[in-house]
Structure 1
């Protein structure tokens, strides 16, 4: 599994951003810098993304069940229809992220920044000037 992560990082550093349909279940991607990555349709069940920079990332239809996203940077990330069941998003930066259609059953959002986030029902719960 480590070799596939290393391969992903190398391709990302070479400028590639689209990585659809990967299975990174259980992988440790903590503290990586991956802004604007497109992991649509990927599986990251029980993956560790602690402190990972996923600013402007496209995570449409991604399975993040039981993933650890503590302190992850998800500012303006597209999480449409993502499965975040039991995911840990403590202290995550979700400002202006799009969670339209996402499954968030039992997800943990303690101390997360949800300003301007589009909730699963399509409503932005924190509309502030």
Structure 2
């Protein structure tokens, strides 16, 4: 296994989605904080409760505003025409729809519940799974350059042979995950749970742990 954890100041890290505090999200949406939290708790505004604290994706809120403008109130991120966030589909159906939406140009797939999804062998460059639950999924041999897994549950997930150049795993849980033979070039980890990770044969260069 080749290891080199030294960073370089000349390399610019890829930008990721900005995570907003409730008062910042309220200002972004032009709401009071109470109105924002009421809408979020009613399921009408996308947010995530992390360790008892609410956080909001600026990209998610931007998409929410656009879809509100086009479709009015409700839960537009569950609209079948706008994203693969179906609650009742099987895992296989969810994965298929994500792949279809990706191939149609979509890149942002936040807050998914898709344990055990199979994405093996695909090109998913730049995909963003912010705060998704992908436990037990397979990304074997997948091109995941610049992919974002910030805050994801990736326990027992396989990235064997995947290209994770410039991928971002900050605050994710990768306990028991498989990175055998993966390309970890400038990959950002700094995860919240690392136990049992397999790095055998991984090519590690300028990664951040």
TM-score norm. by structure 2 comes to 0.50
Q: Paired residue for 1:44?
A: 124
Cα-Cα RMSD: 2.4
CA contact (8 A) 1:89 1:112 kept: no
Aligned match for 1:84, one of 164, 175, 191: 164
- Distance in 2 (alpha carbons) for counterparts of 1:62 and 1:105: 15
In the alignment, structure 1 residue 65 sits paired with structure 2 residue 145: yes
For residue 111 of structure 1, report the CA deviation from its aligned partner.
3.6
- Unaligned 5+ runs, structure 2: 1-79, 203-209
- Distance in 1 (alpha carbons) for counterparts of 2:150 and 2:129: 7
Aligned pairs, number: 117
**Structure with the higher helix share, 1 or 2:** 2
- Distance in 2 (alpha carbons) for counterparts of 1:89 and 1:26: 20
Structure 1: 4+ residue segments shifted above 6 A: none
Q: Paired residue for 1:54?
A: 134
Larger Rg: 2
For residue 63 of structure 1, report the CA deviation from its aligned partner.
1.3
TM-aligned CA distance change 1:65 to 1:26, over 3 Å: farther
CA contact (8 A) 2:91 2:116 kept: no
- Distance in 2 (alpha carbons) for counterparts of 1:117 and 1:36: 18
- Distance in 2 (alpha carbons) for counterparts of 1:49 and 1:64: 11
- Distance in 1 (alpha carbons) for counterparts of 2:124 and 2:185: 17
Aligned match for 1:28, one of 108, 119, 123: 108
TM-aligned CA distance change 1:86 to 1:34, over 3 Å: same
TM-score norm. by structure 1 comes to 0.77
In the alignment, structure 1 residue 105 sits paired with structure 2 residue 185: yes
- Distance in 1 (alpha carbons) for counterparts of 2:123 and 2:83: 13
Deviates more, 1:22-31 or 1:113-122: 22-31
- Distance in 2 (alpha carbons) for counterparts of 1:3 and 1:102: 34
- Distance in 1 (alpha carbons) for counterparts of 2:115 and 2:82: 19
For residue 120 of structure 1, report the CA deviation from its aligned partner.
4.4
**Structure with the higher strand share, 1 or 2:** 2
Deviation sequence 1:74-129 (CA, Å, 0-9, x none): 0000111111100011111000001111111000011442210001427xxxxxxx
TM-aligned CA distance change 1:114 to 1:16, over 3 Å: closer
